[in-house]
Amino acid sequence: MMERGISKRIKSIKFALLSPDEVRRMTASTIITADTYDDDGFPIDMGLMDSHLGVIEPGLRCKTCGGRVDDCPGHFGHIDLAMPVIHVGYVKEIKILLQATCKSCGRLLLTKKQLDDYAKERETIEDMGGGHLEVRLVTKETAKDASKRQICPHCATEQSKITLDKPTTFREDGHKLTPKEVRERLERIPDEDLGPLGIAPGVARPEWMVLTALLVPPVTVRPSITLESGDRSEDDLTHKLVDVLRINQRLRENRDAGAPQLIVEDLWELLQYHTTTYFDNQTSGIPPARHRSGRPLKTLVQRLKGKEGRFRSNLSGKRVNFSARTVISPDPLLSMNEVGVPLEAARELTVPIRVQDYNIDFVKEWVSKGPIPEGDGYQAGVNYVIRSDGRRIRVTDKNAETVAETIENGYIVERQLMDGDIVLFNRQPSLHRMSMMAHEVRVMPHKTFRLNLSVCPPYNADFDGDEMNLHALQSEEARAEAKILMKVQ
């Protein structure tokens, strides 16, 4: 029996950081070589296209799960970094942590009394039910108070001034701190002192903000494309990871060979540059990495951010089927309840008809006329027949008669729009409910939607190039609702 109502309720969410151990445990392969494919065009093991990370070519099988292109979701890999590198996404937090903790003993620069006061305050907030409001990784107030203190209350060491040279260079009284030194400092902060800083001990350690292992996304996230010429073109992320791998390799070799400190440091900085631009290629203070053509690479942050990014373009905004968009123009001869639909749009937009005893003969006859029935004026044709098993069959002039023969009860036939159909008409920005109203279709020549001038005010439309959207309703309920609730009057 299915239980009704809410069975689980989210009480809180904890944000964690990935530890290098966790990165290594969760990955399917260690990536060590910048090469991608061998001479025969197969992915090289431990390379960026390693088939343990998933497959993008039909026919090949994933070496981790055995699945083919459509079954395998892809698996992560990782690169072991020769030297630690600052994660650009966390520089703000790292700076605060360095300022708020002792350079020598690593303790939070607050007295016992101050800590007790914080604990009390926190309790009251939680009692008031406001505990869930704390979402910051590092709580500003605690950190601010702590960083004001010059002398450590625990070991009496005098503190020096921490500054940040954007994007990722930390300095202490002007002296440069290497990522390794930064990491060692963060390691010294005891778990007990993390709570007051707003970090959940057990699921996050501050030193994890300095990377020693870099996650490599599955190949499905960065598929290579084969050009018409037969050449392979790699994704921007892959290009960037190639750079990381090359420098990482050179850095390791030079360090192991005991090369001069200066050379090692230069390579280390280069590795920092490549990982930083791998995360965000618009980091201020450093030049963006570019293609040979001069186009800047699109890396992780660029995929997510902005209007064309994953959030606004792919997750909040989605394309809808059975809809059309074009320029609008006036037509005083239409009723205000009508909308003029261009013939070509009407042929593309469809309404489903369920085949039953009462209409089967009629529908068969209709389908046999194909997508563009002959006769005077516009006549709605049929674009698709959907069988009971869900298979879609496109109706063409050639197959119309044979498809019509196969129609049975339970099939769905998608017929084109015709005069009198109820559709929704919308002009953005949709500021009030009258921005979306129900209209009756009038199929017309030319390529614009036509509307009576008296409906311009609710849509706030004029004809200097305004475009509007039209949605063909797909169910009897939707049509009834639109007709009763959404008419212009």
Binding site for Mg ion (CB under 5 A): 462, 464, 466
Q: Which stretch binds Zn ion (CB under 5 A): 66-74, 244-252, 394-402, 404-412?
A: 66-74
Q: How far is the CB of 464 from Mg ion (least distance, A)?
A: 4
Among positions 29, 64, 142, 299, the unique one binding Zn ion when judged by CB under 5 A: 64
Distance, in Å, from the CA atom of 471 to the CA atom of 341, rounded to the nearest integer, reads 11
Q: How far is the CB of 465 from Mg ion (least distance, A)?
A: 6
**Closest to 347 measured CA to CA, from 374, 383, 323, 395:** 383
What is the full DSSP assignment across 435-471? GEEEEEEEEESSSSEEE-GGGHHHHT--SSS-EEEEE
Q: How many CB atoms lie within 10 A of CB 214?
A: 24
* 456 interface partner picked from Zn ion, Mg ion, none, CB below 5 to 8 A per type: none
Q: For Mg ion, give the closer residue by CB, 172 or 466.
A: 466
- The dihedral over CA atoms of 179, 183, 186, 190, expressed in degrees to the nearest 10, equals -170
Contact present, 454 and 439 (Cβ < 8 Å)? no
Q: How far is the CB of 61 from Zn ion (least distance, A)?
A: 8
Distance, in Å, from the CA atom of 410 to the CA atom of 345, rounded to the nearest integer, reads 27
* 62 interface partner picked from Mg ion, Zn ion, none, CB below 5 to 8 A per type: Zn ion
Q: How far is the CB of 218 from Zn ion (least distance, A)?
A: 8
For residue 353, what is the enclosing H or E element?
strand 350-354
Kindly give, in sequence order, each residue whose CB lies less than 8 Å from that of residue 377, ignoring residues fewer than 6 positions away: none
* 159 interface partner picked from Zn ion, Mg ion, none, CB below 5 to 8 A per type: none
418 binds Zn ion (CB under 5 A): no
Q: Give the x-and-dash track for 92-131 against Zn ion (CB under 5 A).
A: ----------x-xx--------------------------
Q: How far is the CB of 219 from Zn ion (least distance, A)?
A: 10
Q: How far is the CB of 328 from Mg ion (least distance, A)?
A: 9
* 341 interface partner picked from Mg ion, Zn ion, none, CB below 5 to 8 A per type: none
Q: For Zn ion, give the closer residue by CB, 18 or 156.
A: 156
Q: What is the DSSP letter of 290?
A: B
Among positions 49, 82, 98, 152, the unique one binding Zn ion when judged by CB under 5 A: 152
Contact present, 467 and 326 (Cβ < 8 Å)? yes
Distance, in Å, from the CA atom of 429 to the CA atom of 463, rounded to the nearest integer, reads 16
Residues that bind Zn ion (CB under 5 A): 54, 62, 64-65, 67, 72, 102, 104-105, 152, 154-155, 157
